[in-house]
Amino acid sequence: MATVDEDLNQLEKDIRQLKIEYDMYFGGGRQRPPQDTQWRAEQMIKRYSERGADMNFSQRFRFNNLSQNFAKNMEVWRKKMKQKEEGFVQRHFGAAAKAIEAQREKEQAAAPPAAAPATAAEARRPAGPPSLYEVACSDPDREPEKVQQLYQALLAAKKKAGEKTDALTLDNFQDFVRLKTEQLKKQAGAKQVEYAVTMEDGQVKLKARTK
């Protein structure tokens, strides 16, 4: 039987997972809301709400914080669900990418023609097609939201391009980003790796470069 601390660790893990899964759902990378994970977290909260005497002071303090965090997130997710059902929310990375690219073109047009790159790293950056989405990671295990957003952007871009995404799961993508980041950081002695989702010759590609 799990201890109180083990149950609280699982509850904290489930709440983090819920954030990722709801982001996927609202971003278009998941067809259904994460009901299983939500149910598990709700049952854990209900169980320990009725067993307050089984916890010491520090455990009760942690449980209360986790419960409040869960309640706040659930309120946000309920509002988004309502908006989604009523047709008010139409968030997708295609529109976001277009907005980013339009802003980038506007900024480039306003810049002096002979302007030099701001840094040596930018001067070394190879020319190429504009990115649909970019993010820099230093430690993917501690930056799950960045990896999740990159995954959603790649998934949305591939779907829009008509490419197959059956083999592209969040778990194997997280493993890939973790290994790739470690590999490039060691090879180049860099602190960060920048990932970019691009469209080249009608194909979606994921590029990685050190910063």
Torsional class of 208: left (φ above 0), alpha (ψ -120 to 50), beta (otherwise): beta
Q: Which of 175, 174, 170, 177 is nearest to 196 (CA)?
A: 177
Please report, in tens digits, the pLDDT of each residue of the chain (211 residues total).
Answer: 789 999 999 999 999 999 988 888 888 777 888 889 999 999 999 999 888 788 999 989 999 999 999 999 999 999 888 887 776 544 444 555 555 556 556 655 655 444 444 444 444 444 555 678 888 988 988 889 889 889 888 888 888 888 888 888 888 888 899 888 898 888 888 889 999 998 888 888 898 888 7
Residue spans per domain, the chain: 4-86, 117-210
**How wide is the angle at C-alpha 137 spanned by C-alphas 132 and 142, nearest 5°?**
130
Cα 92 to chain centroid, rounded: 13
Look up the pTM and report it: 0.44
Rounded-to-integer distance, Cα 176 and Cα 169, Å: 11
CA dihedral 140, 90, 107, 161 (to 10 degrees): 70
- Strand stretches in 59-175, DSSP E: 131-137
Angle, CA of 8, 11 and 17, to the nearest 5° = 145
